[in-house]
Amino acid sequence: MATIYYDDDANLEHLAGKTIAVIGYGSQGHAHALNAKESGLDVVVGLRRGSSSWTEAEAQGLRVVEVADAAREGDLVMVLLPDEVQGAIYREQIAPGLEAGNALLFAHGFNVHFHQVQAPADVDVFMVAPKGPGHLVRRTYLEGGGVPCLLAVHQDPSGTATQRGLAYAKAIGGTRGGVLVTTFEEETETDLFGEQAVLCGGVTALMEAGFETLVEAGYQPEIAYFECVHEMKLIVDLIYEGGFEKMRHSISNTAEYGDYVTGPRMVTDETREEMRAILRDIQTGSFAREFLLEHQVGQPRLRSQRRATSESLVADVGAKLRKMMPFIAQGKKA
Ligand code: NAD
Ligand code: MG
């Protein structure tokens, strides 16, 4: 089982007098920068000149400079850019600003694990990865709580990476939720596997196949959408709150019985074998290579898939049904 650290295990003194450079001001960047600043740390945000986030970060009381300047100023440099651009920006704008004793931080292990970022040997490299989106990292911090984080140390020439990592996690609220220790390898491979096989790829493919099976059999698309797509949220919310037990307790006995007898017919030995193959593609770096090449050639696959998705029946039906439920948009978090 994982080692877990809490507030009392972390000391902000390890970052006293240090400048924290947060590179990027997107989902994670805004939350890390604001939380760390409000925890009393000296924070500078690094962005491209002309970026729309520049004025936004300044309006929220942060000091903003260009990426290369932030990297130079920062004793700790947290890289919160999209994964596919981190390698190039690291080499061109961040690496020149790193000095012996600095620390290079990530919120996901992709670029270090797959060798896109190779830091100098005298710089600490570690990861503080919140297990939730940035808006939740920010909201829970303001409420006095925090999203649990993963901590992993890739290289530790200073001998203080764990202490500095825990202090950083404390500054963004993570130790209030708890910090689990992992490795870059474990975080990267499990994160990619989870999003591909289950959370994003697996779930959407399952919903779409269910929807198409009903439509093909002559049922109305609106009804199929409610049953196979829309209602996923009700089920997932119950699992989020109380695990499979709470979900199965809340649904009808009919649904629970169907769950037990039909689930194993959906995830067959063949499906499990495919899951292992997906995991192997991640472990060998084959997926990482494909994804990085996709970015280098201008993202043709991402673009055509996005277009195909937006033109699909399931998208049309969903848009139509959401118009009947204006309360969904009203309840949405900014
Ligand atoms: P994001 O897309 O929301 O934000 C990226 C930021 O980088 C934006 O401010 C953007 O303006 C800036 N940017 C993009 N290209 C740039 C360039 N060429 N030069 C300078 N700035 C540039 O990204 P995110 O979701 O916050 O992800 C950041 C990191 O956090 C990633 O490593 C990701 O894997 C990790 N992470 C994300 C989440 C999440 O839920 N979003 C959760 C945990 C970890
Ligand atoms: Mg520096």
What are the φ/ψ torsions at residue 15 (nearest 5 degrees)? -115, 10
* 107-119 pLDDT per residue, tens: 999 999 999 999 9
C-alpha 301 – ligand 2 centre gap (Å): 37
Burial class (CB in 10 A: 0-12, 13-18, 19+), 290: exposed
The preferred substitution site among 22, 23, 25, 27 for testing ligand 1, maximizing ligand atoms within 8 Å of CB, is: 27
- Of the residues 81, 89, 128, which should be mutated to test ligand 1's pocket, given the most ligand atoms within 8 Å of the CB? 81
Q: Whose CA is nearest to atom 41 of ligand 1?
A: 133
Q: Is the pLDDT of residue 333 over 60?
A: no
| Tens of pLDDT, residues 46-99 | 999 999 999 999 999 999 999 999 999 999 999 999 999 999 999 999 999 999
Q: Which of 61, 31, 241, 45 is nearest to 142 (CA)?
A: 31
- Ligand 1 centre from 206 Cα, in Å? 28
Q: First and final CA of the chain: distance in angstroms?
A: 36
**CA 142–ligand 1 middle distance (angstroms):** 21
Chain-wide mean pLDDT for the chain? 97
pTM of the prediction?
Answer: 0.94
- How far is 209 from 58, CA to CA, in rounded Å? 46
Is 108 catalytic? The answer is: yes
Collapsed DSSP state (helix, strand, coil) of residue 154: strand
Q: Which ligand is nearest to the CA of 104?
A: 2
| Atom number of ligand 1 nearest to Cα 48 | 20
| Count of CB atoms situated within 10 Å of the CB of 50 | 6
pLDDT value of residue 329: 87
Residue nearest to atom 16 of ligand 1 (CA): 81
Using CB atoms within 10 A of its CB, is residue 177 exposed (0-12), middle (13-18) or buried (19+)?
A: buried
User: Where are the extended beta strands (E) located within 259-299?
Assistant: none
CA–centroid distance, residue 218 to ligand 1 (Å): 43
User: Ligand 1 pocket: which residues have CB below 6 Å?
Assistant: 24-29, 47-48, 51, 53, 67, 80-83, 85, 89, 107-108, 129-130, 133-134
Residue 334 confidence (pLDDT):
42
Name the residue at shortest CA distance from atom 14 of ligand 1. 81
| CA 166 / ligand 2 centre spacing (Å) | 20
Structure tokens at 116: 């896109």
Expressed in angstroms and rounded, the spacing between residue 246 Cα and the centre of ligand 1 is 34
CA–CA dist 334, 329 (Å, integer): 10
Q: Please tell me the residue having the least CA distance from ligand 1 atom 38.
A: 133
Q: What are phi and psi of 119, to 5 degrees?
A: -75, 155
pLDDT tens digit string along 130-187? 999 999 999 999 999 999 999 999 999 999 999 999 999 999 999 999 999 999 999 9
**Distance, CA of 234 to CA of 212 (rounded, Å):** 21
Q: Pick from 132, 75, 81: which is nearest to 104 by CA? A: 75
Which residue is catalytic, options 30, 32, 108, 154? 108
Least Cα distance to 187 among 127, 228, 246, 146 occurs for 127
Residue 330 has pLDDT above 90, yes or no: no
* Ligand 1 nearest atom to the CA of residue 29, by list position: 26
For 244-276, the pLDDT digits (tens) are: 999 999 999 999 999 999 999 999 999 999 999
Mind listing the pLDDT tens digit for each residue in 215-239?
999 999 999 999 999 999 999 999 9
Buried b (16+ CB within 10 A) or exposed e, 68-89: bebbbbbbbbbbbbebbebbeb
Ligand nearest to the CA of 47: 1
Tell me the mean pLDDT in the region 288-297. 97
